[in-house]
Chains A and B, each alone.
Chain A
């Protein structure tokens, strides 16, 4: 096993210098070219005074530049923090204020937002430097008094080419991924080099990924599914195909893209697979090159899986499961047979070989077959905790309840699972208000906090309506002052990402209450569903 995860890339770059490492739209970059560019970026980062375990954020849309950034940051002994370039600046600012990256990398497309992001940072005396990847030279001042903080492509190209000497150990930070936080503030999950290396070793050997493979990168870089795509590619010397966002809307084009690029491995949230099916883009004779299809990140709907397996009997289908805190995945289930009963959930399976997973009942005893309990994960790819958040870390990373004498920490997922007779687990929901919607992990509390922050809102409740393929987030609000639904949605758009904004917003005079005085979400949900049924 490697000590630092950039070594996967370096070893493959020695073996296959001329091979395409990453492809995006009509751009291809070889292992050697990627090595040169990222080494120069690493030298520039170091020259800016970067220290070991500093954070470097990148605010980029899907592109080859994001992979260059990842490698450059790792080579400079720092941890990377991918920002969602499509999120509102206010939300990105919370992340930047929390992890205080020494440098933020962007390109011309995201320069304006990035400048705005640091100009209005609430933390005083914190001034990150900015690298603009495609700006030839920063000759004219971007912001008059801040010229000295900006660096461009010229600054990168004059850097030396000699390989970086790493001081990092395998327990140093590789990245921080921010997920939705229940109080309205995103939470940063720290992942180390050792965490990623253990996961990658397992995934490559378990699924027999080789240099011949052509992997999809469907998830955005701020999703931890991208960890599978990137490191399985680099460990094996395969090729990574970054899927442009735009293709997600046009299933026919996406299918054609998979065919034209001869992709062999596909990993994504199931929503996109379901979308391709629903839009009739998939047929028996299509996507012949794909040999493995991984579904992860949310519940895989059984009827659609059955349709896919009947359509493609020779492809391998794998259902995987894992929170960001356990590094991509902690369980997997290779689906051998077409499911007969479409009303039954597909198991999330058993623990990955490098991890131990178990579920406990309320008495902290292991659950028996047929019982439901809370899911725990233990082992070398479990995160050391949340960045700058000892309280949340303490709540979720707890002393091992089964073997307290060992003193190691296990991750308490908050997921409820059922144990089946054959030793598989089935996902049965959450203990709290965390949901999965279109593949995104969302805390309803974060949406609620955003709604409440609007001055004209008196009271609000946010509800998730779960349905096999038509789930939605809805919200009921009462107002202090007049505001239209258009205004509320527009104002929310400045605070939270688009996918979190409730699809349906209802302005009501009063919210119903339970006998204890709480907002009665159950009756609101019921009334909404009945109304919806009647209108269909």
Chain B
């Protein structure tokens, strides 16, 4: 996993939630930390920052529940592109 991408994603989430506290293994969606409002914003920001398109099928718990999973998804979508 690319650590720069992961760090950038972590930063995006911290900005989005206005928090300094985000542990790498923190569960994002299943704990309710991100709600639908945050998710729309997060996807917007990821799409802009990494020049990717996140489709309906990509959005599931496995791909979005922690920073590592999001990083893997972003990298996969960047490769496809």
Assess the A279–B19 pair: CB atoms within 8 A: no
A504 and B40 CA atoms in complex are apart in Å by 16
Contacting chain B: which of A246-254, A259-267, A371-379?
A246-254
- Judging by beta carbons under 8 Å apart, are A279 and B18 in contact? no
Q: Mark B2-29, 1 if CB is under 8 A from A, else 0.
A: 0000000000000000111100000001
In the bound assembly, the distance between CA atoms of A504 and B59 in angstroms comes to 25
Query: Which residues on B are within 8 Å of A, measured CB to CB?
Result: 18-21, 29, 32, 35-37, 39-41, 43, 55-57, 59-61
Q: In the bound complex, how far is the Cα of B41 from the Cα of A271, in angstroms?
A: 14
CB of A484 within 8 A of chain B? Answer: yes
**Interface extent on A, as a size class?**
20 to 34
From B45, which residue of chain A is reached at the shortest CB distance? A536
Contact A252 B60 (CB under 8 A): yes
Rank and list the top 3 A-B pairs by shortest CB-CB distance, nearest first.
Answer: A280-B56, A281-B56, A252-B56
Q: Decide: A484 near B35, CB < 8 A? Known: A250-B61, A252-B59.
A: no
Of chain A, the residue at the smallest CB distance from B39 is A249
B36 touching A248, Cβ below 8 Å: yes
Interface pair B19/A280, CB less than 8 Å apart: no
Interface contact B18-A504, CB-CB below 8 Å: yes
Q: Is the CB of A505 within 8 A of B39?
A: no
In angstroms, Cα B61 to Cα A331, docked, is 38
Complex CA–CA separation, A279 to B53 (angstroms): 11
Bound state CA distance, A465 and B29, in angstroms? 25
A142 to B61, CA, bound (A): 36
| Measured CA separation A484–B19 after assembly (Å) | 9
Does A368 make an interface contact (CB < 8 A)? no
Per the 8 Å Cβ criterion, residues 270-292 of A in contact with B are 271-272, 275, 278-281
Bound CA–CA A280/B43 (angstroms): 12
- Residues on the B chain within 8 Å of A486, using CB: 19-21
Does A505 lie within 8 Å of B18, measured CB to CB? Answer: yes
User: Residue A251 contacts which of B19, B41, B56, B61 (CB distance < 8 angstroms)?
Assistant: B56
User: Which of A250, A271, A275 gathers the greatest number of chain B CB atoms within 10 Å?
Assistant: A250
Residue of A nearest to B59 (CB): A279
**Contact B19 A252, beta carbon cutoff 8 Å:** no
Question: In the complex, A452→B29 CA distance in Å?
Answer: 30
Measured in the bound complex, the distance between the Cα atoms of B38 and A472 in whole Å is 11
In the complex, chain A residues 36-72 whose Cβ is within 8 Å of any chain B Cβ: none
What is the CB-to-nearest-CB distance from B53 to chain A, in angstroms, rounded to a whole number? 9
Question: Could you pull out 8 A-B pairs where Cβ atoms are within 8 angstroms?
Answer: A249-B29, A249-B35, A250-B59, A251-B56, A253-B60, A279-B40, A280-B56, A486-B21
Q: In the docked arrangement, what's the CA distance between A275 and B40, Å?
A: 8
> Smallest Cβ distance from B61 to chain A, in angstroms?
7
Q: Is A498 an interface residue (CB 8 A)?
A: yes
Cβ-neighbour of B20 out of A472, A484, A499 (below 8 A): A484
